[in-house]
Amino acid sequence: MLNGTFTPSEEAKNFSSAPHFNKRSTPVTVRFSNSTGIPQIPDTDPNANPRGIAVRFNLGNHVHTDIICHSTPFFPTRTGAGFLEFLRAAAASPPGTASPSPIEAFLGSNPSALAFVQAPKPAPSSFAKEVYFGVNALKFVNTEGKSVYFRYRIVPDAGEESLDDAALKEKDSNFLYDELPKRVAEVPTSFRILAQIAEEGDVVDDATVHWPGSRPLVELGFLQLESILQNNDKEQKYIIFDPIPRIQGIEPSEDPLLEMRAAVYLISGRERRTA
């Protein structure tokens, strides 16, 4: 995990009364991750995609709010129950399973899950050269009480860069985690935090649904990575990121995945702390 600073844009305070959009800057804690939740999964494993980023805005003693994004711009299922069914079908379909396998049957009857599986997921050359998407809609509320639904997007200032299969084969199993501290120590490493703004009639309670590309992107601010967190290994075991904002100025939508994700992350974090 890394220390950093978030500096809001002038426009951010027009959308939300959240403290970090209305003060000069806010210290942040940032964690990058591979998919699956398996701690030792190689960075070169195709199952390590999509990659993730979590940003904690440290607003005071035990006061914070988080952003959690990953590098595929949608989710395979609308509900937690559907995602569990997806995982069970995949687990019941090891190589050599007769066709139609459980996962083939599941994907055949769930177009959103099929779209997620088939979506390109190239490995990035660096965690700092990947675009990350918030899959759940949230709601901004400003000081005048005006509200609008949005999804986060985090875009690297270094540009997006992925590796082809040949280049990936040349990489070490921990290349992303080894590269990032060196990059942060040697060159400015930063991102722009954006919000894609929904329009009237857009679906805001289903993480499988894309919004049209014509929906505006608003820049919320600048995220600068500065150093590796002290006691990094200990802090990684302790921290539990929360997909629900739990702060004034940003509210959850009715997306059923939000409560499920928060509950699962809490259980996972508690088990990690006691491991």
Rounded Cα distance between 71 and 51, Å, is 5
- In the three-class reduction of DSSP (H, G, I as helix; E, B as strand; rest coil), residue 223 is classed as strand
State the pLDDT at residue 39. Answer: 74
CB 33 within 8 A of CB 128: no
> DSSP string covering 49-95, please?
PSPEEEEEEEEETTEEEEEEEESSSS-S-SSHHHHHHHHHHHHT--T
The rounded average pLDDT for each run of 10 residues, N- to C-terminus, in the chain (275 residues) is 97 98 97 85 94 96 95 94 94 94 96 94 96 97 97 98 95 96 94 98 96 96 95 85 96 95 86 77
- Do 238 and 128 meet the contact criterion of CB atoms below 8 Å apart? no
Q: What is the pLDDT of residue 267?
A: 83
CA–CA separation, 254 and 250 (whole Å) = 13
pLDDT of residue 29: 97
The pLDDT value recorded for residue 266 is: 87
Q: What is the pLDDT of residue 36?
A: 76
